[in-house]
Structure 1
Amino acid sequence: MTIERLHTGKRMSQVVIHGDTIYLAGQVGRPEMDVATQTSDCLDNIDRLLAEAGSDKSHILQAVIWLADMADFDAMNAVWDAWVPEGHAPARACGEARLAAPEYRVEIIVTAARKG
């Protein structure tokens, strides 16, 4: 089975497709913004990359969300809950971690199925 990589650089690919499974790299938002805006940016990136890979948010299997501070949990969830289609909530984990730069408040990683 082939592996397809999209938006590949020296260090990573933004999308890796193996069979009918799509793996996205961690998505972050504009670092100068608050957590709600950064979450919205992440989700916009996810929508765009999934569409390019032949899927959409209703086909997300799993999401891993890293917050720089769990105090941002409710603000992030308000954006997330409005974005996830009813009846299509993926398996999800959310934790606190030091992100790549202190300006980042949230990073979201998803695995999805291709639309069939």
Structure 2
Amino acid sequence: MPDITRKHTGQRMSQIVTHGDTIYLAGQVGTAGASVAQQTQDCLDKIDALLAEAGSSKTRILQTVIWLADMKDFAEMNAVWDAWVPEGHAPARACGEAKLAREDLLVELIVTAAKA
């Protein structure tokens, strides 16, 4: 049975959990109060760093779940997302509207990836 490894672990969650060749990232949020485009870019920058630390990259993302505080921001978030995802490496993805942990957070991304 594969080991489970946790990194950046606190009482409530770990930022990275690996099980076998699968990497699970905690939900990533951006700078509170910034535009949805900036918050999305912040999330993607964090995801890049966490995946690199876990031995992977955005080309190995299997699935992404995106929560928006308001679906009116869908196009603005997608503009940043589309520029970030390498051609031919789009993961399975879902995007919905949800009340996030704070009112000044507009987007949260949750990623599952394969090790490189």
Which TM-score applies when normalising by structure 2?
0.99
* Match of residue 6 from structure 2: 5
Residues 70-101 of structure 1: per-residue CA shift (max 9 Å, x gap): 00000000000000000000000000000000
Q: Tell me, yes or no, if structure 1 residue 97 matches structure 2 residue 103.
A: no
- Counterpart position of 1:108: 109
Secondary structure of 1:66's counterpart equals strand
Deviations 1:38-87 (A, max 9, x none): 00000000000000000000000000000000000000000000000000
Identity of aligned residues (%): 72
Map of 1:16-95 to 2, 5 A cutoff? Answer: 16-95=17-96
Distance 2:12 2:22 in 1: 21
Give, as a single letter, the amino acid of the residue that structure 2 aligns with 1:13.
S
- Offset at 1:10? 0.5
Per-residue CA shift, 1:20-44, capped at 9, x if unaligned?
0000000000002000000000000
The unaligned stretches of length 5 or more in structure 2 are: none
Aligned length: 115
Secondary structure of the corresponding residue to residue 88 of structure 2: coil
Please list every run of at least 4 consecutive aligned residues from structure 1 whose deviation after the TM superposition is greater than 6 angstroms. Answer: none
What is the CA–CA distance in structure 2 between the aligned matches of 1:93 and 1:12, rounded to whole Å?
Answer: 22
Distance 1:6 1:35 in 2: 27
The CA RMSD measured in Å over matched residues stands at: 0.3
Structure 1: state its 5+ residue gaps.
none
